[in-house]
Amino acid sequence: MPQYKLIYFNSKGRAELPRLLFAYADVEYEDFRFANREEFLEKIKPNMPTGRVPVLEIDGKLYPESGAIFRYLATEFKLYGKDNVEALQIDGVVETMNDILQVLTKIFYENDEAKKAELQKKAAAEDIPVVLSLLEKLAGGDVFVGDSITAADIAFFRTMEVVLSIVTGLTLDNYPKLKSINDKVAKEPKIAAWLAKRPETPN
């Protein structure tokens, strides 16, 4: 088994999805969290392959980019479907979810509170429901692809964690398949154990 080390801020952010994959696969890794932005700029950034995090260290070698880390871990942990067609379906779900993340990014980085409130209102009423309706069509039932949890389901769970922490007035009540997927992942014992013990951070 490779020796894994995940390098990121002391926050959920772009490292939380890999952490959830590690938890579900029950694979040990070092969850390395540097203290603050100053430590990152002075000690971490100069040693990172692209100057950014998260970075996954495997047996001492550093690999950058959250999307690449996600696909590697999902494949390594047999969570990327039973064949290439299922992998294609999983990619389709994940790419569709990226539309939600683009909406959230605009909200997160908006400094004007009035504009931020307007963006949140539009996201809850229009932008995100449009994407959720598409995802509802892609869902097979209580999982997106096949007959067991895959990386698509875990990625959706993490996306909804972010959505519900940023956008108020949004629920999955009108999307029965998505709600079932979200609940299934949350109740999975290894995921639930991680959620109960992970460090409390603002984001």
Closest CA to 34 of 22, 26, 44, 25: 44
pLDDT at 45: 97
- Is 193 among the domain residues? no
Q: Are 94 and 142 members of one domain?
A: yes
Do 44 and 93 belong together in one domain?
no
86: number of Cβ within 10 Å: 16
Residues 44 and 120 in one domain: no
pLDDT over 90 (residue 166): no
pLDDT for the residue numbered 168? 86
Task: Give the start-end residues of each E strand in the chain.
Answer: 4-9, 30-34, 55-58, 61-64
φ and ψ of 186, to 5 deg: -60, -35
Domain boundary among 47, 78, 109: 78
Q: Are residues 64 and 121 in the same domain?
A: no
Determine the pLDDT at residue 108. 85
Range of the domain at 70: 4-78
Residues 97 and 50 in one domain: no
Domain boundary residue, one of 78, 105, 125: 78
Please say if the pLDDT value at position 130 is more than 90.
yes
Same domain for 62 and 131? Answer: no
**54 and 94 housed in the same domain:** no
Q: Answer whether 14's CB lies under 8 Å from 105's CB.
A: no
> Total domain count for the chain?
2
pLDDT at residue 115 in the model: 94
pLDDT of amino acid 202: 82
**What is residue 79's three-state secondary structure?**
coil
- CATH no. for residue 132? 1.20.1050.10
Task: Examine the domain organization and report whether 121 and 57 are in the same domain.
Answer: no
Q: Is the pLDDT of residue 1 over 90?
A: no
